[in-house]
Structure 1
Amino acid sequence: MSADLPVVPSAEQETLTIGHAFPWTGLERVDDVPDFRNWGNYIQLSDGPRGIALTRDPSGMLPCYVRHCNDVSLAASDAKLLTCTGTAEIDWPCLAGFLATGGMRSRATCLADIFEPAPGTRQQFAADNAPETLWSPWTFTTAKSRIPSETAAAETLRRTINQVAEAWAAQFPDVVLGVSGGLDSSIVAAALKRAGANITAVTLATREPDGDERVYARALTDALCIPLVEAFEDPDHVDLEHSAAAHLPRPSTRAFSQSSDAIQLAIASERRATAFMSGGGGDSVFCALRSASPLADRILAKAGLVDLARTARDIGSLTGSPLWPVLVRGVRNAWRGARPLPPRANPFLSRDCRAAVTALPLHPWLAPPAGTPPGKAAHIAWILGIFNHLDPVGRTLQLPGIFPLMAQPIVELCLRIPAWMWVSGGRDRAVAREAFRDILPTVVLERRSKGTPASFVMTLFETRRSQIREMLCDGLLAHNGLIDRTAVAHYTRDPRPVSDVRYMQIMSLVDAESWARCWTDQETPCAAFRARSARQRRY
């Protein structure tokens, strides 16, 4: 924990708040949940009749892991610190399930006996006590909580984002902001600028056009009059055998991020920044669905034929699908209701590993109440999926990493906005676009393309095939039966340039392999880890 992380006792000395907690003053709430009178990124420790309890705020931005050991309960933001009283072995079935679901989280982690309290829950410090749910995203998906109009949704969203930005800018006035010229990071830039933050915008480009978004980033920063630093991703910064997730109980990082970490850390040092921020989570929070689910939700809301036809046309325009198939899929989804999202297939996992999906404990956010519209169920599942990107790694181990769009007030509001409003006019994230229409440049506001690091990852794969093959075919994942060694060897030996997305799936297994080696390497004792931690500003 860094020295600048607030630790605030209550007036009665009965609770201790660790982290940043902001009042809801001026922010709209659908229901005043007494257990969360503040929003931010924090945990609370409280002493009550049942003993000490830990409450985690709904944003989940401050990591928290718990271990029960020899009648003692431990909590930390860094899983490595929980191993200093014993050992933590890899839970291979849980790791298999994590990989087979494409990284879906649950209370269980990939380390035996180390658990993660879900955001918005209270955990009594006793091994046999189940966590108590105090906050649920499903509260904000009911017809009663629904925002009534697109105009009201846009106006409230803009006001809420601006107030969240003001709160964060007051805490961290000097910001290195990652921008792509996409909608999400542009909205954060506009809100922080309005809040008076001293912003240094950074955009990272690949050598291939699909990862070069500098023209959009320039348009944004010129319009907002903020400085922009441009840099190219550098493969020399990436060590495939190094895991930035060595302190985490899951392999939730990607090796290619080492490049952006190195570049942005250097910029932050030069500019004396106090925090890193980004538009991370925007696609998820702003419900960027490309399916017929919004139409299904509107059918279940008993909308008239004119409104249904409009939403069907919006989805068709957004996805490029003819009207009739959209209508068919919408009716089918409405009839089926909310269903769990299927796991992402990875052809390089073993059959046993893929089967582990059924044994993985279900996250409470993936169990929709009866009658939940399928679009809202998909919205919440997508929000949950972004949590792997919130873990403090790389540059955010040196300075705080803040994701303003994942703030509780914004998430609650966006869940109240019906799925069909988000696709209005055939545009994804339509409400967010409308909310900042008079501020953002047209080239950014109407942008339909999206940059990707795919070409950079492809370069890493193409230039390091033999290292990747050796790591995976002779590694811990193969030894424990999680991967199909034959399929991996065949794909990595193919000398032809890659022509599909399977290299991305291979690289995700490389990340898991390097993480697993960290947790089986006995050469890094706790004392050495503490010494290294002391030199870092932990958040």
Structure 2
Amino acid sequence: MTWITPGVCRHGPRLAREEVVWTPASRARRGPRRGDEQALRRAVDGALRAFLIDRQSVLCEISGGLDSAIVANSLRAVGRPADAALNFYRGQAEADERVYAQAAADLAGTPLRCVERQLLGLSVERLMSGAAAFRPNFEILDTDFDDLALEAIAQIGADITFTGHGGDVVFYQLSAADLAGDLLRGAPCEGNRLTRLAEVARRTRRSVWSLVAQAVRGRPSRAVAELMTVPKILAPPRSEGDWHPWVNDLKGIAPAKAAQIRGLALTQGLFAHTRRGAAARLCHPLLSQPVVEACLETSTPILSQGEGERSFARRVFRDRLPEMIFARRSKGDITVFLGRTLAKNVPMLRDFLLDGRLVEQGVLKRQDLEAVLSPEVLIFRNAYSEVLTATVLEAFVRYWEGRDAVASDIGAVSGVAAESAA
């Protein structure tokens, strides 16, 4: 099996020849430019029109945030509003965005179905059934999502589902402090550069001098880093290895633009196998190449200027947004939902991880896992991403090691059969 990285061409005998034909950094080096509002609108609208070719019935996920609202109302702008929209909410107030989702759906002229999510029930069977992927698939953690989405797909006979995923990276809702580095390196901005720098300081609750020092050193001071960084509970030693090729190609790229490219590398995990994606094409238009390129070439201080985030996209699509979403500066939070989900699944997680392959091979320490895997710790300490990552990796390793064992058994049986035939 050979994994072909996006932007790479493999050819020749046994695909031994490799040519890099596209990377985010190569596109970013064409900029940074001042924002072209019409170019971004054309990129989004053009991508949507292309994805809609020969599609009969359209479903759109509307979370209540900025990005999904842009997609839903851009579908209306190109003359093909979604036939139905789907919103998931949780029982906690901070994870219930129905009022925003309804405002976006009303403006788009799309009927909205809201579904309450229950705490996830994890099982070894479900994890392993979805682990057959060429790289770890985080979609296997939420099989309930597939079940509920498949119901909505079947209800309208949808053959494509649109999401707003990727907008936080493409439109830049990332490290605000890195924007200071881009400003000091001369990246284009609107208005006075010192004013823009002061806005970043207010947004990050830091002094201008602290941001300047970080830009000069290339990293925050130890005191600032300790305040900003959540200490890892499960922290395996980082060893040298192969990084994503997009991350290896950041020479000469300014700090905030480099953060955007690292984010784009991470978003590749969205292009994973799902049952809902098998039933109807799962489409993330904000991660389509024309949209990504338009934002890579745009200076990050312009993409995220002022004291708000994604301000450029917010302005470009102002006429396609309900007022409450345009003015909104916060977003939903499912932290409590994840904490309760993991606490509910502690027995399964302990059985799956404590004696798993990651512990056996020394990737994780058993005592660290034991300290984390209790309801009390999981509810009050945010180790959710670490535990979920460990769970996905454990399933991935077990699946492929099992495949190797099956292949060896088949080979042995074939050998015996050949000897018997001889």
TM range (shorter): 0.7 to 0.9
CA contact 2:60–2:82 (8 Å) conserved in 1: no
1:223 corresponds, among 77, 84, 107, to: 107
Q: How far has the Cα of 1:228 moved from its partner?
A: 0.5
In structure 2, do the counterparts of structure 1 residues 408 and 510 end up closer, same or farther at CA, with 3 Å as the change threshold?
Answer: same
SS at match of 1:221: helix
Q: How far has the Cα of 1:146 moved from its partner?
A: 3.5
Paired with 2:235 and 2:218, the residues of 1 have a C-alpha distance of 30
2:419 corresponds to:
none
1:463-512 deviation line (CA, Å, top 9, x unaligned): 12122111111222222222111111122246466212113311221222
1:452-473 deviation line (CA, Å, top 9, x unaligned): 3333322221112122111111
Paired with 1:160 and 1:306, the residues of 2 have a C-alpha distance of 26
Paired with 2:23 and 2:375, the residues of 1 have a C-alpha distance of 47
CA contact 1:287–1:429 (8 Å) conserved in 2: yes
In structure 2, do the counterparts of structure 1 residues 199 and 146 end up closer, same or farther at CA, with 3 Å as the change threshold?
Answer: farther
CA contact 1:465–1:492 (8 Å) conserved in 2: yes
1:25 corresponds to:
none
Amino acid at match of 2:248: A
2:20 corresponds to:
133
Is residue 2:41 matched to residue 1:158?
yes
1:446 corresponds to:
327
SS at match of 2:63: coil
1:504 corresponds to:
385
Q: How far has the Cα of 1:125 moved from its partner?
A: 4.3
CA contact 2:176–2:200 (8 Å) conserved in 1: yes
1:170 corresponds to:
53
CA contact 1:165–1:404 (8 Å) conserved in 2: yes
2:119 corresponds to:
235
CA contact 1:422–1:430 (8 Å) conserved in 2: yes
CA contact 2:303–2:311 (8 Å) conserved in 1: yes
Matches within 5 A, 1:76-475: 115-127=2-14, 129-142=16-29, 144-148=30-34, 150=35, 153-195=36-78, 196-235=80-119, 238-243=122-127, 245-301=130-186, 307-333=192-218, 346-350=232-236, 354-356=237-239, 358=240, 360-368=241-249, 370-475=251-356
Paired with 1:304 and 1:180, the residues of 2 have a C-alpha distance of 31
In structure 2, do the counterparts of structure 1 residues 207 and 284 end up closer, same or farther at CA, with 3 Å as the change threshold?
Answer: same
- Greater RCO (Cα-Cα under 8 Å, separation 6 or more): 2
**What stretches of structure 1 of length at least 5 have no aligned partner?**
1-66, 68-114, 336-342, 527-539
Greater helix share, structure number? 2
Amino acid at match of 1:219: A
CA contact 1:297–1:373 (8 Å) conserved in 2: yes
Question: How many pairs does the alignment contain?
Answer: 397
CA contact 2:89–2:115 (8 Å) conserved in 1: yes
Paired with 2:189 and 2:100, the residues of 1 have a C-alpha distance of 39
Greater strand share, structure number? 1
1:248-267 deviation line (CA, Å, top 9, x unaligned): 12223144421211111111
Paired with 2:384 and 2:359, the residues of 1 have a C-alpha distance of 18
In structure 2, do the counterparts of structure 1 residues 302 and 420 end up closer, same or farther at CA, with 3 Å as the change threshold?
Answer: closer
Paired with 1:188 and 1:305, the residues of 2 have a C-alpha distance of 26
1:24 corresponds to:
none
Q: In terms of mean alpha carbon deviation, does 234-243 or 269-278 score higher? A: 234-243
Paired with 1:517 and 1:417, the residues of 2 have a C-alpha distance of 43
1:81-124 deviation line (CA, Å, top 9, x unaligned): xxxxxxxxxxxxxxxxxxxxxxxxxxxxxxxxxx3212121101
Amino acid at match of 1:286: F
In structure 2, do the counterparts of structure 1 residues 507 and 241 end up closer, same or farther at CA, with 3 Å as the change threshold?
Answer: farther
In structure 2, do the counterparts of structure 1 residues 423 and 486 end up closer, same or farther at CA, with 3 Å as the change threshold?
Answer: same
Paired with 2:362 and 2:175, the residues of 1 have a C-alpha distance of 35
CA contact 1:334–1:373 (8 Å) conserved in 2: no
In structure 2, do the counterparts of structure 1 residues 383 and 497 end up closer, same or farther at CA, with 3 Å as the change threshold?
Answer: closer
CA contact 1:275–1:402 (8 Å) conserved in 2: yes
Paired with 2:215 and 2:276, the residues of 1 have a C-alpha distance of 43
> What is the identity percentage for the equivalent residue pairs of Structure 1 and Structure 2?
24
1:486 corresponds, among 367, 371, 393, to: 367
CA contact 1:146–1:417 (8 Å) conserved in 2: yes
Amino acid at match of 1:234: Q
Paired with 2:61 and 2:169, the residues of 1 have a C-alpha distance of 17
CA contact 1:235–1:259 (8 Å) conserved in 2: no
Is residue 2:403 matched to residue 1:518?
no
**What stretches of structure 2 of length at least 5 have no aligned partner?**
221-228, 408-422
In structure 2, do the counterparts of structure 1 residues 263 and 485 end up closer, same or farther at CA, with 3 Å as the change threshold?
Answer: same
Q: How far has the Cα of 1:313 moved from its partner?
A: 2.3
